[in-house]
Amino acid sequence: MTARPGPRVSVLMPTFRQASFLPRALESLLAQSLPDWELIVVDDGSPDNTAAAVRPYLSDPRITYHRLERNRGLGAALNHALSRAQAPLVAYLPSDDVYYREHLEGLVGALAAHPGASLAYSGVRHHYNKAAAGQIDGSPLQLVQVMHRRTGDRWLERDELTTDDLNRMYWHHLTRRGPAVGTGAVTCEWVDHPDQRHKIVREPEGGINPYRVYYGVQEPLRFHTTVGHHIDEGERYRKDRERPPTPPAPDGLKILLVGELAYNPERVLALAERGHQLYGLWTDRPYWYNWVGPLPFGHVQDIPRENWQAAVRAIRPDVIYGLLNWQAVPFAHHVLTENPGVPFVWHFKEGPFICLEKGTWRELLELYTRADGRIYSSQEMQDWFETLSPELKGGRPTLVLDGDLPRREGVQGERSPRLSDTDGEIHTVVPGRPIGLHPETVAELAAQGIHLHFYGEFTHGQWRGWIERAKGLAGRFLHLHPNVNQEDWVAEFSRYDAGWLHFFRSENGGELRRANWDDLNLPARMATLAAAGLPMLQGDNSGHIVATQTLARELDLGLFFRDMQDLGAQLQDREHLNRLRERVWAVRDQFTFDHHAGRLIAFFREVIGERQAAAAAEIVVPTGHAERK
């Protein structure tokens, strides 16, 4: 009997949570004009009915199915498939993509015509009405459009790096062996939908925390997208993760964190270090900067979103601490509504105006009106909310506490020598977005001899046009720097003479109802600048209600100016600037979460006490009505 020849092409299909897409992809493979292929499906721990979607196709001997017990990431799934590939050529069909009839035949022909080529690629449709003859602008070659000769190279796996850059993951291995050639024909589709992997990975639509939630990642990540900065959670949080848990305090609380932690998430460890037990119930739709569990620094026990009420009853937490930003409002409201009787505290950072835009205003108001305890990020924010409804005026415990404060341990260190001590010029810094600093404003600063140092390579991408124009106007007075992790804030930012808060002109005239988000907000960078002991720069908004202005004047933290000429004159007063610098350094601890942790715990105890007193004052009679004693 003549042995059946092996396949010419091994097609690899990694799949996760795409059962509804999968039959379409498989049907497109079955319709290929080149029939001698094998398909290796690797189900990367899908929680949906992927196995059932594949099952009808397994009667075709060319198709095999493998399931990994848990999600291990794209690289691991592809390496699993590669190790089982038999053909000399390898192609890829992600389960949400589609081949056109002549796709495999065209790629095989291109490699046959170019014996020295390492890979071939087709053109690709990437939106319902857009196509590219080869590589899509701004993206690497996509899996669906590539075929290559089988080699001993392996894909980069999650424990090495998570990225959307397929060049770093694999293609660069191949192109070192020989050139890539294109067919010039559009023969496949990179299907556009919200759950494409690159969208989950890449900021700002996705990012490290959306990725963690979507793929159920339990371990710390090394993460670097094509548009974001490098994050090494394993190294950054190693000390916290490996630190033994603090023994429970005799009167320690069980605190259930609900929602997300936004910036500086490790601040909550200050509560664990005081002997309180922390649990986490996280929103399933976080933004990239809104941290959710499993937290890479540990010491917070997650509970599942599925049937979370049963888990809460089993844990019996003393308080639910709902937080923090507008993205968490729907989920926090759900927990409030389904709360099985635990005292509930709502802490809101930003932004009420976005809740209006997003259609979650009702939920936000109910979080405040129904919560047992209310925390506002600034006094101005509390005053503003209390104009909205009589229900928000008194009657419940309230606290004012900024939600984005860093942990004390993360912002220690010695100050660095100032740049101005070397060159005699004034250097200011803006960590993050240069809000209110238009290119023309930067030019005015340059005319005063004032440098502006702009930090954050991801932010640079968002402000590319701003940078080009500001650089053209300000020349050597504009400087660009990469992102700085929290542990380097002091050493890096203390080199400057002063730092920028959001620069804006208030228009509320002292009337709360006219206030906008700039007026009510205490931006996260306030703590960053305080950590480095930097005087804070903001426009003079005398006569208006502005939270940053109130706090900066109360603590004597900065300079207020009418225009850039006024600012230039104030910055030249080195004696006054030095006094401010020492003043900010002296009060910097007030901008750490640890400084307020005791006050927060006392607030929780007040809320718990009032809830218990209210319950004790009620008698449930047989009719189900409650009566007061």
- Residue 36's DSSP bridge partners are none
pLDDT score of 276 more than 70: yes
Q: Are 168 and 161 in contact (CB under 8 A)?
A: yes
Which of the four pLDDT bands, split at 50, 70 and 90, describes residue 153?
Answer: very high
| DSSP secondary structure letters along 547-597 | HHHHHHHHHT-EEEESSHHHHHHHHT-HHHHHHHHHHHHHHGGGGSHHHHH
| H/E segment holding residue 182 | strand 180-189
Reported as a single tens digit per residue, the pLDDT across 565-579 is 999 999 999 999 999
pLDDT of the residue at 626: 42
Q: State how far the Cα of 415 lies from the Cα of 585, in Å rounded to an integer.
A: 10
Provide mean pLDDT across the span 562-566: 95
pLDDT of the residue at 4: 61
| DSSP secondary structure letters along 17-59 | S-TTTHHHHHHHHHT-S---EEEEEEE-S-SSSHHHHHGGGTT
Q: What is the DSSP letter of 475?
A: G
Q: State how far the Cα of 258 lies from the Cα of 329, in Å rounded to an integer.
A: 10
pTM of the model: 0.92
Query: Which of 20, 13, 23 has its CA nearest to residue 81?
Result: 13
pLDDT score of 628 more than 60: no
Reported as a single tens digit per residue, the pLDDT across 289-345 is 899 999 999 999 999 999 999 999 999 999 999 999 999 999 999 999 999 899 999
Count of C-beta atoms within a 10 Å radius of residue 288: 20
pLDDT of the residue at 295: 96
Burial 313-323 (b: 16+ CB within 10 A, else e): eebebbbbbbb
Amino acid (1-letter code) at residue 42: V
pLDDT score of 539 more than 50: yes
pLDDT score of 624 more than 80: no
- Residue 399's DSSP bridge partners are 375
Provide mean pLDDT across the span 611-623: 71
pLDDT of the residue at 288: 86
Query: Which of 81, 40, 74 has its CA nearest to residue 165?
Result: 74
Count of C-beta atoms within a 10 Å radius of residue 470: 25
Q: State how far the Cα of 317 lies from the Cα of 326, in Å rounded to an integer.
A: 24
Structure tokens at 407: 């942990």
pLDDT score of 620 more than 50: no
Tell me which of 84-93, 430-439, 614-623 is least confident: 614-623
Which of the four pLDDT bands, split at 50, 70 and 90, describes residue 623?
Answer: very low
Could you give the C-alpha distances from 399 to 68, 375, 555, 606, 614, in angstroms and in order?
48, 5, 19, 11, 20
Mean pLDDT of the chain: 94
Provide mean pLDDT across the span 17-25: 98
Provide mean pLDDT across the span 559-563: 96
Query: Which of 586, 508, 495 has its CA nearest to residue 546?
Result: 508
Q: Tokens 């930097």 belong to which residue?
A: 534
Q: State how far the Cα of 405 lies from the Cα of 419, in Å rounded to an integer.
A: 27
- Residue 12's DSSP bridge partners are 40, 92
pLDDT of the residue at 428: 98
Q: Are 530 and 591 in contact (CB under 8 A)?
A: yes
The packing angle between helices 439-447 and 464-474, to 10°, is 30
Q: State how far the Cα of 356 lies from the Cα of 147, in Å rounded to an integer.
A: 49
Per DSSP (E only), the strands in 424-487 are 426-431, 450-455, 478-481
Reported as a single tens digit per residue, the pLDDT across 466-522 is 999 999 999 999 999 998 989 999 999 999 999 999 999 999 999 999 999 999 999
Tell me which of 20-34, 460-474, 615-629 is least confident: 615-629
Query: Which of 607, 613, 609 has its CA nearest to residue 629?
Result: 613
Q: State how far the Cα of 624 lies from the Cα of 629, in Å rounded to an integer.
A: 15
Q: Tokens 């192609």 belong to which residue?
A: 91
Q: Which has more pLDDT, 37 or 623?
A: 37
Provide mean pLDDT across the span 117-141: 95
Q: What is the CA radius of gyration of the chain?
A: 29
Count of C-beta atoms within a 10 Å radius of residue 377: 22
Could you give the C-alpha distances from 319 to 193, 416, 604, 607, in angstroms and in order?
39, 42, 7, 8
Provide mean pLDDT across the span 9-28: 98
Q: What is the dihedral of CA 386, 387, 389, 392, to 10 degrees?
A: 10
Per DSSP (E only), the strands in 411-449 are 426-431
Tell me which of 1-5, 244-248, 391-395, 569-573 is least confident: 1-5
Q: What is the DSSP letter of 167?
A: I
Specify whether the backbone of 237 is left (phi greater than 0), alpha (psi in -120 to 50) or beta. alpha
Q: State how far the Cα of 467 lies from the Cα of 135, in Å rounded to an integer.
A: 28
Q: Which has more pLDDT, 128 or 594?
A: 594
pLDDT score of 5 more than 90: no
Percent of the chain past pLDDT 90, that is, above it, reads 90
pLDDT of the residue at 119: 98
pLDDT score of 423 more than 90: yes
Reported as a single tens digit per residue, the pLDDT across 231-273 is 999 999 999 999 999 999 999 999 999 999 999 999 999 999 9
Q: State how far the Cα of 14 lies from the Cα of 108, in Å rounded to an integer.
A: 21
pLDDT of the residue at 1: 44
